[in-house]
Amino acid sequence: MKENLYNYILQIADNSLILGQRMGELCGHGPSLETDIACTNISLDLFGQVRSYYQYAAKIAADGRTEDDIAMLRKERDYLNILLVEQPNTDFGYTMARQFLFDVYHLLFLKELEKSKDLILSAIATKSIKEVTYHQRFSSDWIKRLGDGTEESHERIQNAINDLWTYTDELFRLSEVDEEMLEEGVAVDISKLKNGYYQKVSDVLEEATLTVPESKYFQKGGKQGIHTEHMGYLLADLQYMQRAYPNMEW
């Protein structure tokens, strides 16, 4: 139970950590000042959620590690995030498509996690829902603006949706840890979120005059620690200070 709960927390938290790092990379690089600040704030929201999760994970592990150790000092194969969130900021269309495809899932997930028998996870979910509601509204609005904008913006966001679509099915695949925690009344049955997710995504894409991809090929592996080539580069940036200056404290 203890080990499964620890790993279940990592499955949740690692998604927000890695996506937060991706959004943080845009600080100072947004297409406008307002959008730049919004992306940075989304990153900070995600890191705030992550801290709560990792503090709980450190308490469960009870092996002397802190939340910083869990976040910064694991190896690539020890991270359990889905592949979608580690995809790079190819252009602004890819950034918003990735954010949107995760946000729709994230909000559905948190609303169910709020019902968890684990009161700490439930409390974190309750606190996070308001933030993620804003995230979804922000990314959805950009999908519509880009999709129903110029010919170039339409083409770019459609290409981004097409390329990232292959990572969406992993959102709903139950791991062994998910199944164990479901029996304890702790986990969310993510398989039951699938229909609602694709309906919500399809509604927004339709409003944005975009086409829902028909691809039936999906990639997976993140929950088992098997990541894309982008993950190593991301961690090199994320972990640099802790690796270069071990045990550093601010």
The answer for 221, left when phi > 0, alpha when psi is -120 to 50, beta otherwise, is left
Domain definitions of the chain by residue range: 2-244
> 2-244: which CATH architecture?
Up-down Bundle (1.20)
Distance, CA of 11 to CA of 175 (rounded, Å): 10
What is the rounded distance in angstroms from the CA atom of residue 98 to the CA atom of residue 2? 32
Q: What is the pLDDT of residue 104?
A: 98
Enter the pTM of the model: 0.94
Per residue in 43-78, pLDDT (tens digit) is 999 999 999 999 999 999 999 899 999 999 999 999
What whole-number distance in Å separates Cα of residue 9 and Cα of residue 185? 14
What is the per-residue pLDDT across 127-174, written as a single tens digit (0 to 9) for each?
999 999 999 999 999 999 999 999 999 999 999 999 999 999 999 999
- Residue linked to tokens 């690539």: 76
Of residues 131, 107, 154, the one with CA closest to residue 42: 131
- pLDDT exceeds cutoff 80 at 239: yes
Cα–Cα distance, 156 to 145 (Å, whole number): 12
